[in-house]
Amino acid sequence: MSHHLFLLSPSDTPLYSLTHFSAKPSQAAQSPLSANLPSWSTSAFAGTLTALSGASSVVQASTQGGGVRMGGGQDRHVIQMIANASLDVIEEVVRRDNGMYLKSVDKFNEWTVSAFVTPGNMKFVLLHEGKNDEGIRLFFSEVWELYVKTTLNPFHTAHSGIVSGVFDARVRASARKHL
């Protein structure tokens, strides 16, 4: 089960991204909207993109024993597109919702998008497959704290990517802990 984290500045500049492969068992998303959608394919094609974007990949993953799919590779842009597309909904939700943690704000086929919008309008976007609201909330809180520490650096701007190795290591550790 993989997770994709993106930290986006108020101008939607990606400052940091992380792909995390969780060892925890995948918990199928119990969504009436997407999980129960039909999964048909009359085509003999079963390309990577279908595995990515279609619900049929859930079947594939289970038959392959939940092996690693979707890491880097050529389809990185699709994951990034999903994160980018989710910003539309996140911005809409932020306008009517005051909370920072927007759980399961959007769904794209098997990808559930959870988001965390800081008071400074930084957006943390997490693409995940399972349902793990509490873990994701804790993860976001820790990332927020780490991010705030990063911004204490006077040389950090809202547009500069976060390249700190310490930040990266801590986010990874937090991901291992909570996701």
Partner 1 sequence: MARVALPLPPSLGPHICVISSLDLADLLSSLSLPPLPQILQSFSPLPQVTTRTTSLTPVPLTAFALRFSDLAEIEEGCREDEEERAGRTIDWISARISSRCAKWIEDWERIQAAATENDKAYKSRTPWWNEVRQCVEGDHIPSKFEGWNHPVAIVYAVSTMLANPLQTLAQLHARPLQFPSWVDTTHLRYSLIIHPENSPLTNEEATALFNAVKKQYGLHSYLLPLALPSPPPPPVPVPIPPPRLPSTPQSVLQTPDPSAMAPESVSGSRAARDVNGLRLTDRDIQQIAKFVREFVSMCLVPWMEKCVADWNENFTSTRRLPSRLFSSTRRLFGSGTASPAPVQSAPSPTSTGSFSSITGVFPGGEPPSQQRRLAEFATILGDLKPATNVWEALRKDGKSGSEVLPLLLSPSPAVTFHVSHALSTITSSGTEASAQLRALTYAVRWEAGPGFLTSPSEGDRWLVWAASSGEEPPSALLLAQAAHLSVRKHALRRAALWYLFAANRLEKSGIKPLTVYFLHKARELYITSPEKGLSPSFWDAEGIETQASTRFDGILPGLEHALGRLHYTTGEVRRAVQLFLSLLRPSSGPTSPPEDPSEAPKDIVMDNIFLEDFRLAFQHLKDTSGSEFRTADLTLPATFFNPRLTRVRLPGDAVGGDPVAWQSQEDIWTTFWKTRGRETLHRPGKASVNESFWVDLVVHNPFDSEVNLSDLTVVVAGPPDSLDWTPDLVDVEVLDEIVLDPRETRTIPLSVLAKRPITLQITDVSYSFLSLLPAKESLVIRGRRLQDTPFQRQNKVYAPDVVVKVEVEDATQRLSAQFFDDNRLVLYHGERKQMRIWLSNVGTQAIGDIWLVGGREDEFWVEESRDQEAEVSALASETFISDNSLLPRTPYRIPFPPTENPSFPPGANFEVPFVLHANKLGEQELCLMFTFREGEGLSFHCVRLARFFEVRPLLSATLTFGPGQGLENLFTSCLEVRNISPSTSVTVSQVVTLSPTWSCNPLTSLNSESLLPSQSSQLPIGLNPRKGTHDFNDTFNFVVGKLTHILKGQPVDESLPPPITILCNHINETPSYSIQTRSMMSFLHQGRRNIIIRQLAAQHLYIAPAIHPHIFPLYHPHSLDIILFWDVPSDGRSGHILVSGGILGAEHGALNAAIQEAEEMKVKRSMYAETQRERSSVLEAIRASEWNAEMNPVSLVTIEPDVVRHNFSELSCHVPVTLMLRNFSMTHPSRYTLKLASEVTPDNPSGLKSLAPPSWIGRLTFRGTLEPMQHTVLKPTLLATGPDMYTLDGWQLEVEVGQRTDQGWQTIYRYLEKPSRDHRPCVTVVAVTPP
Give the Cα separation of 16 and 9 in Å (integer). Answer: 10
Among residues 10, 99, 149, 166, which is the contact residue for partner 1, using CB under 8 A?
10
By the rule CB under 8 A, 146 interacts with partner 1: no
- Sequence-separated (6 or more) residues with CB below 8 Å from residue 138: 178
- The span from the CA of 15 to the CA of 13, in Å, is 6
Contact between 101 and partner 1 per CB under 8 A: no
73 near partner 1 (CB under 8 A)? yes
From 82, 105, 126, 127, residue interacting with partner 1 (rule: CB under 8 A): 82
C-beta of 34 vs 104, nearer to partner 1: 34
Can you name the residues that pair with 18 across neighbouring β-strands? Answer: 5
CA neighbor of 108 nearest in space, from 81, 134, 131: 81
Return the number of the residue (134 or 153) whose C-beta is nearest partner 1.
153
CA 46 to CA 175: how far, in whole Å?
Answer: 31
130 binds partner 1 (CB under 8 A): no
Task: Tell me if 85 contacts partner 1 by CB under 8 A.
Answer: yes
By beta-carbon proximity to partner 1, the closer residue of 51 and 136 is 51
Decide whether 38 or 65 has the Cβ nearer to partner 1. Answer: 38
Q: 56-82: buried (b, 16+ CB within 10 Å) or exposed (e) per residue?
A: bbbeebeeeeeeebbeeeebeebbeeb
Give me the residues that bind partner 1 (CB under 8 A), please. Answer: 6, 9-19, 21, 32-34, 36-43, 45, 47, 49-50, 53-56, 68, 71-89, 91, 108-109, 121, 157-159, 161-163, 165, 168, 171-172
